[in-house]
Amino acid sequence: MIRRALSLALAAAALAAAAPQAQAQLNPGLHVARATDSFGGTNGVGASVQLSFPLFPIDLFVAGEYFFPDCGTVAECSFMGGSADLHLGLPVPVLTPYATGGLVYRRTDVGGGAGAVAKTGYGGGVGVNLGALVLGAYAEVRYEVVDPEDQVVIRLGLRF
């Protein structure tokens, strides 16, 4: 009976110690991005939100970007996009490599709103999270498959 009570007490203590680590974490972030093929390559800025559960190696990552393309001879053009991905990370502290994959949305406009085209597709890639006490960083390289231009997108960001 004493052994059973001691076992239950130890299990309860272990669960109580793990409870703060088991809570979901919501981390907003900001990043710069490079789309390598649209408009001959263009830079942009973006925001992201990462929902992670520390006891599991899978995170939900949602990001959006606005790019600043060179419009060439067109008076107005715009390019923006976003993605909703799952990150599957290796359980390595501080520097966590991950594989990513998910849905991609892209909106391209080469006519001041009249010629806007919105398309969806998919993407995947690899990245690394660098975790610190208050601030984190990430770098990601992904390949996006969205007609008419499949392309590589590079993201470098900070997470708060």
Q: Are 47 and 64 in contact (CB under 8 A)?
A: yes
Contact by Cβ (8 Å): 82, 61: no
pLDDT greater than 90 at residue 110:
no
**Domain 23-159 in this protein, CATH class:** mainly beta
Task: Evaluate if residue 64 carries a pLDDT over 80.
Answer: yes
Please write the tens of the pLDDT for every residue from 5-36: 445 445 544 444 444 555 788 999 999 999 99
Average pLDDT of 134-148? 90
> With 50 as the cut, is the pLDDT of residue 71 above it?
yes
Predicted TM-score of the model (pTM): 0.80
Domain boundaries, the chain: 23-159
Look at 9-13, 31-35, 47-51, 64-68 and tell me which has the smallest mean pLDDT.
Answer: 9-13
> At 34, is the secondary structure helix, strand, or coil?
strand
